[in-house]
Amino acid sequence: MRWFLILLVLAVYLLHQDIWLWRDVRPLVFGFLPVGLAYHIGYMFLVSGLMWILVRCAWSEDEPDGAERHAEDRAG
Amino acid sequence: MIPALVVFAYLGVVFYIGIFAFRHPGGGGKAEDFFLAGRSLGGFVFLLSLFGTNMTAFTILGASGHAFANGIVTFPLMASSSALVIPLSLFFVGTRMWSLGKRHGFITPVQFFRDRWECGHIGTLITLMQAALLVPYIIISVMGGGTALSAVSGGIVPYWLGGAVVAMVVMGYVFFGGMRGTAWVNTFQTILFLTFGTLIVVVIGRGIGGFPAAVESMAASPVFAPLLSRERFSPWVYFSYTFIPLSSIAFPHILIFCLTARHKAQFKKTVIAYPLCLLAIWLPSVFLGVVANQMSDIPAIASKLEARQELAASPTPALREQARGDDVLVIMLEHYAPAWLAGLLGAGIMAAVMASDSQILALSTMFTEDIFAYYGGKARFGERAQVQTGRVFVVAVTAAAYLVALSRPAQIFDLAVQYAFTGYASLCPLLVGALFWKGSTKWGALASTLWTGIAVLGIAWMQSRSTAPFLPFGLLPAMPVTLISAFLLWSVSVFTRKPGALTLQKYFRG
């Protein structure tokens, strides 16, 4: 799972370097968005989805909340 | 006059928010309350204020100006790259920093560095480096406030008075409200940004008779069509830009802000929503900046387009200044929007230029915790005196920034802010090393910090001689500077003594 998530992050990073749309203006998405701009609007939704997956699958719950430890540190 | 009244009403509201935060039961005299809002921010305020803290005048004005000159490339260059890098850095670095801060009571990153690397004066050096890179932002902000208030009032409020009013308001709510006041004001400002972005798209879109006709016309023009693609931009430069957002998490005001969340879980919604908030703010700025090229019926924009054409033949500083598009959004709104909306625009600009609040508070926090408390001030004079010292520092920094803003040209600090991005990106490996690499040492951190200072000064010197790119393929300096910083941290750490086993056990398992 860990390697899958690392590869997923790398893949999303590579999708940012969209040289395949470098010189394209058309099609105009919704009649006014150049395709390169529309791609990156979609890309931001993709990143939001990636973060949702990371939160679901890679969230570290092993950290203690810490409030008690902090209080102990101060007392000690 | 109506726009000026809207802006003054806005300034009154944010000042009141600061006072209101001061009256909050947690707004007392404890350092953690004043500097970190008692680590008690809820999910909604945490998301919107963290986002607002990252928004500056550049987001609204600079982005549309850059897009006016360079086209749609501005969006992936700055917005969608940040949409990936900033949430990832919050997810990995921000949450870890929050956990350690909560567990050990850290208020600043340098408190953690000192404990984790068993160092004292190296921590002081890191504080000074962070502070030196942060100060230009505060000065730029005061200048922006003076310029914006003067422009919105039609010149009735002079620059010096506008700067003073903005500086006083920011100083007031930071002084009284501390982190809680700053977070609430940032939340209010972010809501304003989001509302404003949607409104201006609707108003300008209706004003020009719909976007499809404008974009079709640009696409058919050999002069403007390249602005709708990235054909004039090098993919290498584009690639090197992805190093710039690494600076975000290394900014002390962002790191300190990460410590204010009530629960670690509050980062969850923040990292998921962050790219969408960026989209909502950046898309209107960039798109309208690009479409402004089609509005040659507006005299102020027509003169910019003429200056751009002449610039190609004879590049002079005066023409370059005339062709700059930082004010195209303002010009479009003056042309198409009713007065009350222009006032809202003024308030939006004010909100953007007042992003210095969290930076002033961060400087004050760093001074009182990393210098005053560390060198015995807290032990000698007590915690209440420490908070009062922080408040006095807020006044001193704001007053100094105002005086400098009155006497220096803005271009100097514009450049300094650009160097600051490179500097903070270069400090990012140090932060990652401290949090995740057991083998990193204080000597590696020292090498990385010294390199950052030398590199930033070196770039400033190189660019003072020529504005032409000096790296192969036009790469941004941030890329090699950050990679060399990481290499220095690693190579020096490998050959120097590690912290004691007890210290390492405190921060690393196994």
Q: Which residue of B has its CA nearest to A23?
A: B231
- Is A8 in CB contact (< 8 Å) with chain B? no
The top-scoring range by mean pLDDT among B82-96, B133-147, B372-386 is B82-96
CA–CA min distance B291, chain A (Å): 10
pLDDT of residue A68: 45
Residue A13: list chain B partners with CB under 8 A. 84, 242
Q: What is the pLDDT of residue A74?
A: 45
B320 touches chain A (CB under 8 A): no
Pick the residue from chain B with its C-alpha nearest to A41: B279
Give the residue from chain B lying closest to A17, CA to CA.
Answer: B239
**Cβ–Cβ gap B274/A63 under 8 Å:** no
Q: Give the mean pLDDT of B312-324.
A: 79
B125 and A CB contact within 8 Å? no
Q: Over the stretch B105-126, which tens digit does the pLDDT of each residue have?
A: 999 999 999 999 999 999 999 9
- Residue A53 in contact with partner chain B when CB distance is under 8 A: no
Cβ neighbours of A36 in B, within 8 Å = 72, 76, 228-230
Please indicate if any CB of chain B lies within 8 Å of the CB of A24.
Answer: yes
Neighbours of B203 (CB within 10 A): 16
CA dist B504 and B442 (Å) reads 13
Residue B292 DSSP label? G
What whole-number distance in Å separates Cα of residue B394 and Cα of residue B357? 10
- In three-state secondary structure terms, B107 is coil
A17–B99 C-beta distance less than 8 A: no
Q: What is the mean pLDDT of chain B?
A: 87
Flag if A25 and B225 touch (Cβ within 8 Å).
yes
Question: pTM score, two decimals?
Answer: 0.91
Question: Would the CB atoms of B229 and A25 count as touching at under 8 Å?
Answer: yes
Q: Chain B within 8 Å of A28 (Cβ-Cβ)?
A: yes
pLDDT of residue B437: 95
Section B52-78 average pLDDT: 84
pLDDT at residue B311 in the model: 83
- The yes-or-no verdict on residue B486 having pLDDT over 70 is yes
For residue B263, the chain A residues in CB contact (below 8 A) are 65
Please give the Cα distance from A1 to B167 (Å, whole number). 51
| pLDDT confidence of residue B27 | 56
Question: Inter-chain contact B103–A36, Cβ cutoff 8 Å?
Answer: no
pLDDT at A62: 57
Please say whether the beta carbons of B66 and B241 come within 8 A.
Answer: no
> Cis bond leading into A27, ω under 30°?
yes
Interface contact B225, partner A, CB < 8 A: yes
- Which alpha helices (DSSP H) does chain A contain, by range? 2-16, 35-58, 67-75
B271 touches chain A (CB under 8 A): yes
Domain ranges (residues) in chain B? 2-408
Q: Where are the beta strands (DSSP E) in B86-135?
A: none
For residue A64, list chain B residues with Cβ-Cβ distance below 8 A. Answer: 99, 103
Given this model, what pLDDT does residue A60 score?
82
Q: Is A36 on the interface with B (CB under 8 A)?
A: yes
Check residues B203 and B340 and name the one with the higher pLDDT: B203
For domain B2-408, is the CATH number 3.40.50.300? no
Say whether residue A54 is in contact with chain B using an 8 A CB cutoff: yes
Residues 192-211 of B with CB under 8 A from A: 210-211
Q: Average of pLDDT values for B178-182? A: 90
Highest mean pLDDT among A47-61, B26-40, B46-60, B201-215: A47-61
B182 touches chain A (CB under 8 A): no
CA distance B328 to chain A (A): 20
Q: In the predicted model, is pLDDT for residue B339 greater than 90?
A: no
pLDDT in tens, B211-247: 999 999 999 999 999 999 999 889 998 999 899 999 9
Domain edges within chain A: 26-58
Say if the Cβ atoms of A36 and B228 lie within 8 Å: yes
Distance of residue A57 Cα from the nearest chain B Cα, in angstroms: 12
Decide: helix, strand or coil at residue B441.
coil
Contact, B189 vs B196, CB < 8 A? no
**Across the interface, do A47 and B83 touch by the CB < 8 Å criterion?**
yes
3-state helix, strand, coil in chain B (%, to 5): 80, 0, 20
Residue of A nearest to B239 (CA): A17
| B346/B340 Cα distance (integer angstroms) | 10
Residues of A in contact with B266 (CB under 8 A): none
A20 touches chain B (CB under 8 A): no
Q: What is the pLDDT of residue B414?
A: 62
| Regions of chain A with pLDDT less than 50 | 66-69, 71-76
In this prediction, the answer to ipTM > 0.85 reads yes
- The angle, 0 to 180 degrees and rounded to 10, between the axes of the packed helices B328-336 and B299-313 is 150
Q: Does A45 lie at the interface with B, CB-CB under 8 angstroms?
A: yes
Lowest mean pLDDT among B137-151, B172-186, B401-415: B401-415
Q: What is the mean pLDDT of residues B400-419?
A: 71
CB atoms A40 and B79 under 8 Å: yes
- Give burial (CB, 10 Å; 0-12/13-18/19+) of B24: middle
From the list B507, B20, B46, the residue with the least C-alpha distance to B273 is B46
CB-CB under 8 Å, B239 with A47: no
CA B212 to chain centre: 33
Average pLDDT over residues B380-409: 81
